[in-house]
Structure formats: structure tokens, C-alpha cells
A and B are shown apart, each in its own frame.
Chain A
Amino acid sequence: MKKFSLVEFSVNHPRLVVILTLIVTLAFATQFPKVRTDTNPKNMLPATSDVRVWNDGVEKTFALYEDTIVLGIVNERGVLNKETLEKIKRITGEILELKGVAARDVSSFTTIDNVTVDGGMLNVGPLMTSVPETEEETDKLGKTLFENPLFIDRIISRDGKTAAIYVPLEDGSNGKEVADSIRGIVSEEKGDERFYIAGDPVARDTFGNEMFKLMAIFAPIAGMVMLLVRYLMFRDLFLSVTLMMDAMISIVWSMGLLIGLGFPIHVMSSMAPVFLMAIATDSMHIYNEFYFRYRENKDRKAAIIETMKAVSRPVRNTALATAAGFAVLMFMQIIPVKVFGGLVAFGTISLRVLSFSFIPAMFMFVKEEKIDRIARSEDIGSDRTARFLRKLAGFGIHRPGTTVAVGLLLFAVAVFGITKIRVNNNLVEWFKKGSDVRVADSVINRNLGGTSLGYVVASAEGDEYMKTPEAMRYMEGLQRHLEKLPVVGKTTSVVDYVKRINRVLHDDDPKYDVVPDTKEAIGQYLFLFAMSAKPSDLDNVVDYPFQKANIWVQLKTWDAQAMREVINAVEQYKKANPTPMELKPSGIAYFNLVWNDEVLWDMVKGFILALIVVFCILALDFRSFKWAVIGYTPLLFTILLLYGVVGFVGKDFDMPISVLSCLSLGMAVDFAIHFVSRLRQRLKETAGSEPLGDALLWTAGRPGKGIMRNAVLFAASFAVMIFAPLTPYITVGAFIVCMMMLSAIMTIIYLPALITLTRGWLFKGDMQ
């Protein structure tokens, strides 16, 4: 066997192999200085994707900004007082000076256009040019604010306690940096006011930033925990470090390759090191078996070679299964998902190459007496872990019916749980409750129209249509319809301007707060408005030829589903009220919906494909369809149970969870492969002299210990993540801890039970 010779070569030339490994590692490490990062989750979809092209087009047509930060100013005594208004003016002034801010379109009391009439004189201009000095002036400002529906719920709350400043960002500026600058500005202010900074760019860029920090903190901590747990298991620092190096080397290789190929490190690929560290724990089986063998044999070299002979097949095949599980991701649509899949697959293969070369070579450097000491403690009969595992397996062997019945019951419950799963994604909820981002968002969403922004773009066949009374009335009706949704806080369109001007021109008579009857009047009103207002006021809501109009829909939640509700409501309205106009969703809220759907379903598709591929590998590996079915069962069962719990707990099935499904598959299958391979090997070795029950007990006690060690090690390192400040990491940590423990236990209990129950079928025509 070719692999076998690699092991022999490695134990015969340990020094050469170690040096060669280090040279290759150094070569990959030289790529590291070229590293580029991309923290923007938006880039999960390429710039050429339909939704991004469409959104970019809409942004261009309506001179919109991709990203806007919202600054909320709350004063429990009301914001309409001289001090607070002075602060608003001062803060706005300073924000206008910030780099990255599209100053010309910042909306605040001092910059937003207002249309009023005073003593027969029409006034179009900024709402507040100077801070009111007297009470009458303040009252007048209040009246102006509250009589204009364009302002309520946008820059002032109905109760007058919250004001807002909208800060659009120039393309390519970093939301977190601008948000930090704004934090700096408001921290200078003293008084009763509280300030809240929210908006998609803040959440997104803060998350990207935190994520990289977390990876830099948690990957090493996870590594240290693994090192510690290993040390506790084997009491040998040298070998523990060797195992650690194994993981590190594969990380350097795969990250080096990624960087060398010119890919930026993305949200997803930044998770690869932790994944690889976890996958590296599979080499635990080599150690596990080595000590047993050494105890029996006392010859280091021979023990290594024998060990590798015994475990090579399962180790090779688990690697293959894991690699395949991730490699299928390379056939998905989304580039970062592809890159991630390829990256982890490559890392897994590297790990296995190291398992057959570097690790055996390193064993040659360990002092014999040390191995001897450790090996003495590895006795299948006296060892407490082994005894416990045998007991577990014994339960499965002696009460297979009960075990399987309980399993079926759990299965039914899990399936019911899965039906309750809600597919959703909410970027803001990736932050913990009580975090700045989350608090700011909920305060602003409670008091104002909403921080998440979607658009409904109406397009007509020909130019000028948007100026017609029927187009105007249609949009007005649609707005009222959308505002009935609880997730919608406010809608704004060109209609609101037209109605406002109509009323103001007629001396503020509320009777005229309606769409005028002729196209000429509408055209002239808009022209009049555009004569003095900021160009962006109208540009944001109608295109130049008046062929398209843009309805702003402010949402009170970042739930991806909220935009789906809006889209459904639009469809519903259109069905009830036919129109020649086409109505299409756009905006950041729409992007989040599409992004969420595409990434998520891509992962789900990948998962299903991986399920099939892994099954095929199992079948090939065991050279038996029946054994593959048996080996597959605990794995599938574990995954079903976990997702059942997800459904019951009411945790949204979001992106992090969907990413995990692939990992869980790749990892859980390992245990089954080890168990089944070693069991069948044992049966072959003993050639029928040992009853099946005893062979199962032996498998549970010896390779089973390796499985348990693997699971504990894996779980321990991921448990660290439960203390992370971002919820996706907590989810990942908790999920993996549960998954590892559960799948290890499932393997130890259910495989013996199933094998005992189906022995007739399984062994029919087989060796027995």
C-alpha cells in the first residue's frame, strides 16, 4: 500500500520528514504578508449578482445612498428646548465635516427642507436655520414639525422626545469608523440627552470588525484549551504539542494557499482555522491506538507501523468523508461559500497527509520510557472511561429494542420540532441584548419609523406617468396599505411632497391635503418645490423622466422576513388594484432578504449534497450498502435531534446555523466510520472466535475511547466560544458542543443496538 510506505518512510527518516514539513510550512507562511481582508458580509454576493446590480441601478436612478447611519437624540423632557436644539445644530455641523459622510444629503433639523406658508408667503428651505431663542419661536418650530407628515416619525417622534439625524455615507466609507467619530462628537455633549447610533452599516461593519478580533482571540484560546485537554489525557507535553502543531501546520498551509491565490479573507473563511483545529482532533485515534499497541508490543517503531495499519483505513476515510462534505460546497453559487468549502477540504486533506508522515515521525522523538508510562494507564479492562463506554454499549446490546424505541420516539419529537423552524436572519440580533448596537436599534425603532430601509420602485411604461393623478393616488393607497403592517413604521413618496405643497399653497387648509386633480398642477407643484429645495429631495423619490417613482418603506426590524411581508403586501395590493405600473422591491432590507435566502439555501443545498456524497463514501468504504445505512443512522439522528431542538427553542434558522450543518455532518460521520471499521476489523481478526456482543464491547472500550476523547477535545475547544460577545459564535459554540457529545453517545449506544438488532440482515452472506 502506498500510504503504508509513507508511514514507514517517516519512521525511518523522522528528521528528514519533520524538516521537510517545516520547510513546506514556511513556504506557505511566506504568503501571509499579502493578506487582504473583506469584513463586509455584503460581499457574500458578488457585485455582479442580480440583486446588487438592481439595487445599484435603483441607487443611481434615485441618487440614493447604499448606507445610512441614524443618530437618535432622546430627551425625556422633550427635544424642543433651546439646549437640546443647540446640541442638534452643533452635532449636525460637526457631522457635516466628517470624512466619508455625504454631507450634502444629511437630514437633520438644520438641513432638512420644509415647505411652509406664512402671511401668504411661500417658504421652501431648511426647517431650522437658527436655534429659537424665545418660547414662542420654539412653539412655532414645534408646530411646523408636527404639522408636516414628512417629519413625524422621521426626524421627530410623535411624543417629541426623540429627534434623529440621518447620515448617508459616501460609497466605500467604513460605517464603523464614521459611527465611532459620531460617538466621539456626542460624547463631548453634556446634559440630559442620550444618544443612540444605529443603522445597517454600523451593525455590519462593527460585526465584521468584532468578528476578526474574535477569530484572533478565540482561535488561539481554543488551541490552548485543546492543548490542555490533550495534556490531561496523555500527560505528555511533547505529544500534545505535536498534535497542536499538526493542526497549526494545516492551518498555515490552507490559509497560505488561500492568500497566495489572491482571495481575501472573508467572514466565512475566517472561521476555517477553528474548523481545521476541530478536524485535526481526528488524529486522536492514532494516539489512542498507539498506546494500546505499544502496551501490547513494547517496540516503538513496530507499534507505530501497526497502529497506522489498524487506523489507516478509518482515518483515511473519515478524512475523505469530511473533505467531501466540505468540497461539495465548491459547487455552490456563492463565492465565499465555495472558497470556504475548498479551504476546509484542502486543510482536511493536508491534515491526513500529516497524520501519515509528520505524526509518525514525531513519535520517534518521544522517549520510550515516557510512552511506557502512559501506555500502562491505557488498559481496556481497568480504565474507567473504557468501562463507562462498555456499559453504554452494553445497554444498546442488551436492550436493543428499548433503545431503538426510545430513539424512534425522540425522532418523532425532533421531526415535529423541525417543522417549527423559522427561517430568518437578523443582523442586529447577531449582537447580544444590551450591546450598544442592539440597544440603539431598539430605542430608535421604538420611537421613530424604523432603522431598516426598503424601497418599492414603481415603473411605468412611458415618461411623465408619475405626474398623473392616478399614479399618485395609486401610490398613496399602496402606502396606506403597507403602513398597516406592524413591521412598517413609515412610508414616504413623492405623493407626500405633492400633498404638502397643495396644502401649503392653499394657505395651509387641511382640505387640500390631497392629490390635486390634474397632471399640470402636480407637475407645477413639483417644479415649484424643486426651484428651491435640495435636488436630492425629489431625486430620491422620482427619476428624471418621471417614469419611475420610489416609495421609501422604513421597517421597525432587521428581520429578513419583514421585507418579505412588505413584498407580499405589495403583491396583494396589486392583485386587488390592477395597475399598469410595475412594482419591485429594493433597498438594503431587500438585499438582506435576498442575501439571507441565497446563502442559506446554498448551504442547505450543499448540506443535502454532502449527505448523499457522505453516504456514498460510507458505502464504498464499508464495501456494503447495509453497513453504510447502519453507520449513517446515528449521524442523521444526531443532526435531526439538534435541529429539532433549534425548532423547539425558537432559535431562527439563520446563516450561522446553516453553516454548521455541513460541519456537523463532516464530523459526526467520523465516529461511525471509526466504530464500524474497527468493529469489522476486530471480527475479521478474531475470525468468529469472539461473539458479536463481546466484539462490540471491545470496540466501544478501545476505539470508542478514541471517539470519546475526540468528542471531548472537540467540545472543549468550542465551548470557549460560548463566552463570545456575538450571538453567532455562541450559537456555533453551543451547537458544536452538543453535537459532538450527542453524536459520540449516539455512536456508542445506537450502533451496538442497531447492529445487534439487524445482525441477521447485516451478516447474511457476510463472513459469518
Chain B
Amino acid sequence: MKTLMTVAAALGVMLMASTSFAASAEEVMKKSQAAFLYQGKDFKVRVTMRLVSKSGQERIREMTMLRKNFGEPGGEQKYFIYFHKPADVKDMTFMVYKYPGRDADRWLFVPAINMVKRIAAQDKHSSFVGSDFSYEDVSGRKVEDDTHTLTKEEKLGNRDCYVIKSVPRAGDMDYAYKLSWIAKDDMLPLKEEYYDKRSGLYKVFTADETKVVKGFPTVTKRTMKNLQSGHGTYVTYTDADYDAGIPDSLFSERYLRQPPRKWVE
């Protein structure tokens, strides 16, 4: 009887340990998301995306991205994107209302026919403007949608990292699991590896350069490489600015049609 109690107690302790371990892994992911995608009240940046195919062909996407938080980290956000390049899509604008727990609303303005069109929410893991980043990679995935475990802690380069394994709770994701290296100091993700059931590692994210902007550590160069297709996307952030005072009214159909120069230049 006594031994049974001891075993039960031991089991209990182990169980608690593992749950607290899991909870802390989830904490890390939440903090990382806050640091990566919710820094400041608002954020303005010029984004250059270089899409490179296996054979070395290149496509450039250049846009101004405006982001504003409407709530806590992990909560509602609005995005306003103005395209500069390629040349024939100049003046195209794209707007996203992101809600926690339900599908985002999206609108697109097509200047050639002067039309704003709502775009249905869909696969969060479909490609963002033809890049190797999915919509989810750009605007974030709900932390609770995955089970996170801390697999180890190790140095990546010269920085101490948590290595967290995230397994989707629902089975319809592209990946079977993901490993993230989260820097202990600024909580930014330095590397992510995506694995699928069939062929193992197939997609790798790396944060290649981090700068501190208005006190916020910001990833200014990042890469996503698809190892299966050989396609890669290289992203550079320039003119990043936080708390610029983006007005709420900007995120409207009216400004989608006529984006104010001040914000998109």
C-alpha cells in the first residue's frame, strides 16, 4: 500500500512536471509571438521580397506594410499593405483584419478596374503573394492551435535558445511538426524547421539580421527556403518605425482606394 502511494505520488510529480514544462513552452511561444508580431502600438515598414526559383529566376515584391494592434498580444490586429512593385501592380492595396479565434477579413483594391473586392478567408497556409511565406507565417498562428514542448536548450551561433517542438492539434496542417529556436534574450525566433510525415525537413525559416528600432528588437532580414521545390524567399525590412501614430481610419475601404501618401511613401 505504501509503495503504491509512493508510486502514485511520484507519478503525480512527474505529471505536474511535464504539464508545467508544457505550459512554460507555450509561455515561451506566446512571448515570442508578442516580440515578433505585436511589438509597439503600431508598426510601419518597407518590405522587399525577393522570390527566387530553383533555377535562379527572380521576382521582386515591394510593399509598404502598416500594422496596428487592437488589443493584447495575440489579439486583434489590422494590416494595410500598399504594393510598389512589380510596376504593373503599383497602387494595388490589400487590407486584413485579423481576429483571434476566427477567420480574418481581407480586401483587395484592383486599380486597373477601380474595384475593391473582398477576398474569402482560406487556407492559412497558402502562399502569401507567391512567396514561400504563408499568410500564417506573416501574421502569426494562434499559439493554442499547437501543442508545444521544450525539447532542449542550446546555443545557436552565440545566442542561447529554447528549442520548442510544436505539433498541430488539428491534422490538416502542411507540417507534422515544427522546431523553433527562440532566443532567450529578446524572445525572437532565430530559426524554424518544418517537418512533414513523408520526407522530413522541408521548409526552413531563418532570421538573418536583427536591429533595435525605437528600443524594439526587430528582425530586419529573414529567409524562408522550401527544400522540396528549391524555391526561396528573401525578405528585407527597411525604414522600420514603431508607434508612428497610424490612425484607425486608415484601415477602411476609402483609403484602400486612395492610400494617403504620407503613410505609404
**A-side interface residues toward B, CB under 8 Å?**
60-61, 63, 96-99, 102-104, 118, 120-126, 464, 467, 505, 516, 518-525, 527-528, 530-536, 538-539, 543-545
Contact = CB atoms under 8 A, between A and B. Distances in A.
B59 interface: yes
A544 B92 contact: no
Contacts of B127: 530, 532-535
A81 to B, nearest CB: 24
B92 A527 contact: yes
B102 interface: no
A511 to B, nearest CB: 14
B154 interface: no
Contacts of A522: 88
A520 B111 contact: yes
B169 interface: no
Given A60-B54, A63-B229, A505 B117 contact: yes
B120 interface: yes
B110 A524 contact: yes
A504 to B, nearest CB: 9
B88 A520 contact: yes
B211 to A, nearest CB: 28
Contacts of A519: 88
B92 A118 contact: no
B158 interface: no
Interface in B32-65: 51, 53-55, 57-59
A543 to B, nearest CB: 6
A538 B113 CA distance: 22
B55 A124 contact: no
B59 A544 contact: yes
Given A523-B89, A528-B110, A544 B58 contact: yes
Given A61-B57, A505-B110, A544-B57, A97 B197 contact: yes
B115 to A, nearest CB: 7
B112 A521 contact: yes
B86 interface: yes
A96 B176 CA distance: 14
Contacts of B229: 63, 104, 535-536
A145 B6 CA distance: 64
B110 A121 contact: no
A533 B94 CA distance: 16
Contact of B122 (A123, A524, A545): A123
Contacts of B54: 60, 63
Contacts of B51: 544
Is the interface on chain B under 10, 10 to 19, 20 to 34, or 35 or more residues? Answer: 35 or more
Contacts of A532: 119, 122, 126-127
B8 interface: no
A185 to B, nearest CB: 14
Interface of B: 51, 53-55, 57-59, 83, 86, 88-89, 92, 94, 108, 110-113, 115, 117-120, 122-123, 126-130, 197-199, 228-229, 231
Contacts of A120: 117-118
A519 B112 CA distance: 9
A505 B115 contact: yes
A120 to B, nearest CB: 6
Nearest to B126: A532
Nearest to B230: A63
Contacts of A467: 88
Given A524-B89, A527-B86, A532-B126, A122 B119 contact: yes
A123 B122 CA distance: 8
10 contacts: A60-B54, A61-B55, A63-B53, A121-B119, A522-B88, A523-B86, A523-B88, A532-B122, A538-B130, A544-B57
A516 B115 CA distance: 15
A593 to B, nearest CB: 25
Nearest to A538: B130
Given A60-B54, A97-B197, A531 B129 contact: yes
Given A118-B120, A467-B88, A523-B86, A125 B59 contact: no
A257 to B, nearest CB: 40
Contacts of B228: 102, 104
Contacts of B53: 63, 539, 544
Contacts of B123: 125-126
B108 A531 contact: yes
B57 A535 contact: no
A457 to B, nearest CB: 15
Nearest to A116: B120
B227 to A, nearest CB: 11
A63 B123 CA distance: 22
Contact of A121 (B86, B88, B118, B198): B118
Nearest to A113: B126
Chain B CB within 10 A, most for which of A122, A464, A535: A535
A124 B115 contact: no
A397 to B, nearest CB: 73
Nearest to B231: A535
A530 B111 contact: no
B130 A531 contact: yes
Contacts of A520: 88, 111-112
A539 B53 CA distance: 10
Contacts of A545: 57
A297 to B, nearest CB: 76
A659 B110 CA distance: 61
Contact of B198 (A63, A103, A118, A544): A103
Contacts of B130: 530-531, 535, 538
A519 B90 CA distance: 13
A126 B126 CA distance: 10
Nearest to A56: B55
A518 B86 CA distance: 16
Chain B CB within 10 A, most for which of A96, A118, A122, A545: A122
A573 B197 CA distance: 49
Contacts of A126: 123
A467 B112 CA distance: 13
A533 B126 CA distance: 7
A518 B88 CA distance: 10
A103 B197 CA distance: 12
A167 to B, nearest CB: 14
Contacts of A464: 88
A98 B197 CA distance: 10
B112 A518 contact: yes
B137 to A, nearest CB: 14
A534 B131 CA distance: 10
Nearest to B92: A524
Nearest to B131: A535
A527 B120 CA distance: 16
Nearest to B94: A531
A201 B113 CA distance: 45
A181 B88 CA distance: 46
B7 to A, nearest CB: 41
A539 B228 CA distance: 15
A424 to B, nearest CB: 34
Nearest to A118: B120
A538 B92 CA distance: 19
A88 to B, nearest CB: 17
